[in-house]
Structure 1
């Protein structure tokens, strides 16, 4: 065993079936209530509590610290299984697993070990990076300021995915004293943090992606982290979460279309059988949907492999190997995004070819699959990802690892 493994054990993977079997009964319970939560737009507070109590948030923590020791491809497989039960929950955990990954990449020490212990105890982390209002691109209005032996955080964020369910929030902010960009990790269990469930998108409606307001929120001294130390493949990891949402949605479509065809009793006079389940054309539609779901999942799992390479290379002694791993993580997650978005959206639309007009009834909530997939596919616009892939292939231009959103430059009067 290398000295790295002795001093800094890494999460290289575990027995996947044994790990997944810990959570599959919970996934089944989550799936049972998914349609009702969608009809009522009720937040999945209890399902997330089940996952917390089962240790789901610690599956990437090394086994030596009490976690699951899962590799990134194994985490993505689990997230796909969860998303097939309820895609909102996988996305709600997006910020959590990104912060876990950042701590996995941190230098060994007391502060990192403290976070590992929190994850194993069930603590969840949300995120709040996007500024609210008419801010210029690149501007960071949220401030963290020295305040005696700690810091205070002031600002407002939107797209705070998962934060309404979390114990901590990973907040992108700027230091008031130096102007440096940082991550301020703030506890939600204090009066200085206010959160609203005001995400009004037509899909992924219960991800907790609303507004977070910080007014003099206390941040402990060790929880202000220089953003420059953030792990390099973070954008790829965030994208892998959304890809898992899409692949899980495709699996849910496959499951639901087969069930509804199996249970359908009404037929068309110009159909091909006395039972819809025996109609060869309907069977073909279901088979094609299944193939789309298969291709989506296979693509996502393939795209997760370079991220694991990047994680392990972080602790090697070959800087060029690490650089190539980070490039591969970004490029392959981008390729998957371009393809998987189309596969899942097609499956979500083809579902209705097998079921007819009655499938459009609101009470069936089958439209949620298309709405959810379309919403997720709108993140990190895939047209830009396709361009980045092309630029890399043609010109060897290294992909951007960090990007921002905001108002463009104002035109002169």
Structure 2
């Protein structure tokens, strides 16, 4: 069955659901079908373009929007559960929506305006935003080689980005740039124009279908109202970006538990020095599955903890820079870092332990079980946890607040 058929088979008609239970019911059939074909898609490098569109059309990108704005009004705690379930089906898909979720939150936290209303309407209509913040090469820390300038013909964007997760599937790209006055800005640019090129040239060994490749802007046209000062971005954005990846790791752990258990139950061949005539009854192998299950349980609990911290930060967004807001944002940043430190180590280990329950047949490429370790290791490499461990330690010992924004580049 093709991706298009899958989407047509499960994407419901009518208005978006309201509430967590309705959203789960709405997406459960699609998640199930996504999972059934995930290993083949990754093995054949089949881009999930139709699946991303199906999720967006079914309201996945509008889950945080208020019901009055055409969304489902979910809390971060409720959305986090859905992200984990989607990651358990195919870990590429929630990461594709990472930049979108962040920009949705930025608009939700922004003061009321006609521009904000226009963006909420776009989200409700199923439009998707990709991400283009990183640049490779000799780019100095904290600076951007991408430029936005105002001309007699309008506002134009030029530059080259990499690690543009989700942009391959998006209607819009959220790109960082520098304006003519040297200010850091974010620019929302339409993808479907001659000045924008997005390439599927990400060559990582994991998360291969996330569209994490190159985006080139060659005098791309930008509407003036879609240029935003970076300093005005919502404060808990770094925690939200990491929360998405923590949710992906939790989903991978859940998939590892599910697939390891299924493979063990189906196994008929045993070893003479094993403990039971059937592998599923072998106590040693059951213990390994128990370790994997504990990791999956811990991962889901950590996602919930970070979700609660994000909900608290979102609740203070209207009181920006108040004592309550500062404290809530510090808590969200620390919680996301603590979860990252734990899961960046535990989930790849669980994805490796899977092979301790099975024989050599488990390494068959057709089984695709290796994708879980590759994907977990790739997700864990996005933001090095060793630095986060130091930051959390400094906070724990000395009460030092974490820096909410950090950069990658060459030192001066």
**Fold conserved between structures, TM > 0.5:** yes
Question: What are the equivalent positions in structure 2 for 1:19-168 lying under 5 Å apart?
Answer: 19-148=23-152, 150-168=154-172
Contact 2:19 2:72 in 1 (8 A): no
Report the Cα distance in structure 1 between the residues aligned to 2:320 and 2:245, rounded to whole angstroms.
Answer: 31
Q: Which residue of 2 aligns with 1:238?
A: 241
Q: Which residue of 2 aligns with 1:346?
A: 349
Report the Cα distance in structure 1 between the residues aligned to 2:320 and 2:85, rounded to whole angstroms.
Answer: 35
Report the Cα distance in structure 1 between the residues aligned to 2:374 and 2:384, rounded to whole angstroms.
Answer: 16
Report the Cα distance in structure 2 between the residues aligned to 1:275 and 1:240, rounded to whole angstroms.
Answer: 40
1:188 correspondence with 2:206: no
| Structure 1 residue 317 displacement after superposition | 7.9
| Structure 1 residue 16 displacement after superposition | 2.1
Seen in structure 2, the aligned counterparts of structure 1 residues 318 and 378 have a Cα distance that, compared at 3 Å, is closer
Q: Which residue of 2 aligns with 1:385?
A: 388
Report the Cα distance in structure 1 between the residues aligned to 2:94 and 2:113, rounded to whole angstroms.
Answer: 30
Question: What are the equivalent positions in structure 2 for 1:303-318 lying under 5 Å apart?
Answer: 303-316=306-319
Question: What are the equivalent positions in structure 2 for 1:208-219 lying under 5 Å apart?
Answer: 208-219=211-222
TM-score (norm 2): 0.94
User: Which 5+ residue runs of structure 2 have no aligned equivalent?
Assistant: 1-17
Report the Cα distance in structure 1 between the residues aligned to 2:97 and 2:146, rounded to whole angstroms.
Answer: 23
Report the Cα distance in structure 1 between the residues aligned to 2:20 and 2:288, rounded to whole angstroms.
Answer: 32
Contact 1:293 1:343 in 2 (8 A): no
Report the Cα distance in structure 2 between the residues aligned to 1:358 and 1:146, rounded to whole angstroms.
Answer: 60
TM-score (norm 1): 0.94
| Structure 1 residue 46 displacement after superposition | 1.3
Q: Alignment RMSD, CA only?
A: 1.2
| Structure 1 residue 73 displacement after superposition | 1.6
Question: What are the equivalent positions in structure 2 for 1:237-276 lying under 5 Å apart?
Answer: 237-276=240-279
Seen in structure 2, the aligned counterparts of structure 1 residues 221 and 52 have a Cα distance that, compared at 3 Å, is same
Contact 2:164 2:215 in 1 (8 A): yes
Q: Which residue of 1 aligns with 2:369?
A: 366
Give the SS at the match of 2:318: coil
Report the Cα distance in structure 2 between the residues aligned to 1:78 and 1:370, rounded to whole angstroms.
Answer: 22
Any idea what the Cα deviations from partners look like across 1:335-372, whole Å, max 9, x if unmatched?
01011122211210110110122211211110100010
1:220 to 201, 219, 223: 223
Report the Cα distance in structure 2 between the residues aligned to 1:15 and 1:54, rounded to whole angstroms.
Answer: 14
Q: Which residue of 1 aligns with 2:5?
A: none
Contact 1:193 1:213 in 2 (8 A): yes
| Structure 1 residue 324 displacement after superposition | 0.2
Report the Cα distance in structure 2 between the residues aligned to 1:317 and 1:336, rounded to whole angstroms.
Answer: 25
Contact 1:91 1:245 in 2 (8 A): yes
Report the Cα distance in structure 2 between the residues aligned to 1:204 and 1:19, rounded to whole angstroms.
Answer: 26
Any idea what the Cα deviations from partners look like across 1:12-59, whole Å, max 9, x if unmatched?
xx7422221111111111111101111111111111111011011000
Report the Cα distance in structure 2 between the residues aligned to 1:179 and 1:286, rounded to whole angstroms.
Answer: 54
Question: What are the equivalent positions in structure 2 for 1:273-288 lying under 5 Å apart?
Answer: 273-288=276-291
Contact 1:183 1:224 in 2 (8 A): yes
| Structure 1 residue 316 displacement after superposition | 4.0
Contact 1:289 1:347 in 2 (8 A): yes
